[in-house]
A and B are shown apart, each in its own frame.
Chain A
Amino acid sequence: MALSEDRLRAVLAWVVIVLVGGPVAGAVLLGVAHGDSPCILCWAERTSMVLIALCGLFVIRYGPRPRYLGVTVLLGVWGVYMSLRHSALHLARDVGQGFSAAIFGVHTYVWALVIHVTVLAVIGALLLLLRQIAPAEGVHAPSRAGRFAMGLFIVVVAANALQAFASTGPPPFFGQGDPVRLSLNPRHWVWSFEELEPYYVSLRGSWTIPTPDPGAVDPDPGHGPLAGLPSIAVSGWERIGVPLNGALSGVARDSATGRFLAVTDHYGVYLLDSTLARVLHHVVLDPGFSVDLTPLIGAAFVGGDTLAVLSTNKSYALLTPVPHADDRLEWRHFLETDGQVSEVGLGRFQTVRAHQMYVLSLAFDPAAQELITVSVPNPRHHQLVVSRFARRDLTLSSEFGPQLAPDLAPAGPSRTPAEYVVTGAVVADGRLYAISAAYSTLLVVDLKDRKLQAAYAVPGLARPVGLAARGAQLLVAQADGRIAVLARPTP
């Protein structure tokens, strides 16, 4: 089956009638009948549909000239972009949540996507069937359907113009991000510039979150956000006595066996003996399959023989030593393995208050059976959030921003504990001990009262990346593999 040009114009007349008489006219009717009022993005999507219909009128009148087809395809692509950008604001919300009313269970921004994709599909189908694109120059008299399409277009667009006048106002006002319902009473009309303030162009907006760089922070405890902190001296140094496949990026110690778990910035995971001189097991995780693992930054023993490692994007892997791992099964998990480690889980922690914030630490609270992360600040989110995840289902169980104990004082009116960059954490005696690479400070958080109970300057540290407890000692692991031994304070 092939379309002649006359047949194409006839088909397009009906396409215009359906497009204008359906979603575009329907949107106005929804406004009049139910008060539905478009936001500024909805207006652009509706305008795009109107312009696509206008392109159809051009073809009906002048034939399928390439520039009409080009503009129509561009409008279709632009409409898909707009509706995707718009829908992204709401698609990931909880079940049933959306913006404004739904039509047949689907919100208008999703309908805009459906319509623009359909437009592109119809254009493709019509071009596929069109016998030739060599239209005769000149003006064509529209058919009856063509005249009806033009008349309908004028009426519906005029109605849209009236709605736009009431809803957005005359120049220079324009649409609003959060419109009120449509009213024919001028007292309720809202004409505003709100979308201009503040006006800036950004590629990713609030998703522009730089990856954390603990090496770039100020290590001087004297510059920290809390004033007059007592110091804890390093009482001794130890070091990891085996070669690792990269810089050390996290460490944990099993209080039951004395074994250590170390991770590196090259996805190496090492189970070490209590002397740090012998590798019991090791693997190198495959960071690309299937959960995307950014650099590993934390490790924890989470009960039994299960080992947990965490990457900066809060994605985790659970591993366990086994006498003989299945080579075929584990090949997909590890780039290197000693053949005695099995992956038992891979996933991502979901946070609420720490959303859009990276982490650089992982701890395990054996009493509560919870894994704990501490967020690090970024230019868009400046807060310190302790997130707790139930070991049972690895789901968020609580989050809090620790309040300052009365005897801790900020060093200035704008200074807050959110300036600390926690790179290592461990739970001992019901307290969360956290070491901050920024200002080389040890923080003590009471997990019951959710308070920042105490803080101590620890001079002499260089790039701390992990924290472990050994009896009355704290072990601060550095990126260079050295481990500083401190007396564990019990405030």
Chain B
Amino acid sequence: MPARTREQTIVLTMEFLNFLIILWAAWLVWRRPERERLAFRLLVISCLLMAFLFFIGSHGSLIPGVNL
């Protein structure tokens, strides 16, 4: 396993964790509907996480690599 840099330590996020957050939110919606506020916050966190992971994956350029 490669040594972890400071930047990598900050990014303690990934796809598996994101699916766990989504599962948590769905479980709240289904079985604990009174926790709507928490479930919605988890939804928003998951959205941000997904967007952030996409940014990491597309770090070469944010705009599609074509002529604009």
Q: Which residues of A contact B (CB under 8 A)?
A: 39-41, 43-44, 47-48, 50-51, 54-55, 57-58, 61-62, 67, 71, 74-75, 78, 82, 84-89, 92, 139, 142, 150, 153-154, 157-158, 160-161, 164-165, 167-175, 177, 193, 195-196, 199-208
Given contacts A167-B15, A168-B14, A199-B59, 5 further A-B contacts (CB under 8 A): A55-B43, A169-B16, A170-B17, A206-B61, A207-B63
- B29 CB to closest chain A CB (Å) equals 5
Query: Chain A: which residue is nearest B18 at the CB level?
Result: A47
Cα distance A177–B54 in the bound complex, in angstroms:
11
| B53 with A89: CB separation less than 8 A | no
| A195 with B57: CB separation less than 8 A | yes
Query: Chain B: which residue is nearest A170 at the CB level?
Result: B16
Point out the residue from B29, B47, B51, B61 that lies within 8 Å of A57, measured CB to CB: B29
Interface hits, B1-48 → A, CB 8 Å: 2, 4-5, 7-9, 11-20, 22-23, 25-27, 29-30, 33-34, 36, 39-40, 43-44, 46-47
| A78 with B51: CB separation less than 8 A | yes
Point out the residue from B14, B34, B43, B53 that lies within 8 Å of A71, measured CB to CB: B43
| A202 with B60: CB separation less than 8 A | yes
| B11 with A57: CB separation less than 8 A | no
6 contacts between A and B (CB under 8 A): A44-B53, A48-B50, A55-B43, A158-B23, A201-B62, A207-B66
| A205 with B19: CB separation less than 8 A | no
| B11 with A207: CB separation less than 8 A | no
| B36 with A161: CB separation less than 8 A | no
B7 neighbours in A (Cβ, 8 Å):
196, 199
Cα distance A367–B29 in the bound complex, in angstroms:
77
A160-B19, A175-B14, A199-B56 in contact; A58/B29 too (CB < 8 A)?
A: yes
Cα distance A41–B8 in the bound complex, in angstroms:
19
A167 neighbours in B (Cβ, 8 Å):
15
Cα distance A205–B61 in the bound complex, in angstroms:
4
Cα distance A170–B18 in the bound complex, in angstroms:
11
| A154 with B50: CB separation less than 8 A | no
B5 neighbours in A (Cβ, 8 Å):
196
| A57 with B26: CB separation less than 8 A | yes
| A164 with B16: CB separation less than 8 A | yes
B18 neighbours in A (Cβ, 8 Å):
47, 164
A51-B47, A150-B29, A177-B57 in contact; A206/B65 too (CB < 8 A)?
A: yes
Point out the residue from B11, B27, B29 that lies within 8 Å of A196, measured CB to CB: B11
A169 neighbours in B (Cβ, 8 Å):
14, 16
Query: Chain B: which residue is nearest A356 at the CB level?
Result: B65
| A173 with B19: CB separation less than 8 A | no
Cα distance A172–B60 in the bound complex, in angstroms:
21
| A154 with B30: CB separation less than 8 A | yes
A71-B47, A84-B64 in contact; A43/B15 too (CB < 8 A)?
A: yes
Cα distance A203–B25 in the bound complex, in angstroms:
33
| B27 with A154: CB separation less than 8 A | yes
Cα distance A62–B64 in the bound complex, in angstroms:
37
| A54 with B61: CB separation less than 8 A | no
| A150 with B30: CB separation less than 8 A | yes
B46 neighbours in A (Cβ, 8 Å):
47, 51, 54
| A205 with B50: CB separation less than 8 A | no
| A168 with B40: CB separation less than 8 A | no
Cα distance A7–B13 in the bound complex, in angstroms:
38
| B9 with A172: CB separation less than 8 A | yes
- A62 CB to closest chain B CB (Å) equals 6
Cα distance A167–B18 in the bound complex, in angstroms:
14
| A202 with B62: CB separation less than 8 A | yes
Query: Chain B: which residue is nearest A40 at the CB level?
Result: B57
Cα distance A89–B66 in the bound complex, in angstroms:
9
| A44 with B60: CB separation less than 8 A | no
A139-B33, A203-B61 in contact; A50/B12 too (CB < 8 A)?
A: no
| A201 with B14: CB separation less than 8 A | no
With a 10 A CB-CB cut-off, give which of A47, A193, A196, A208 has the most chain B CB atoms: A47
- B56 CB to closest chain A CB (Å) equals 5
| A54 with B43: CB separation less than 8 A | yes
Point out the residue from B2, B23, B62 that lies within 8 Å of A154, measured CB to CB: B23
Point out the residue from B26, B34, B57 that lies within 8 Å of A175, measured CB to CB: B57
A164 neighbours in B (Cβ, 8 Å):
14-16, 18-19
Query: Chain B: which residue is nearest A165 at the CB level?
Result: B16
| B26 with A157: CB separation less than 8 A | yes
Point out the residue from A88, A171, A200 that lies within 8 Å of B12, measured CB to CB: A171
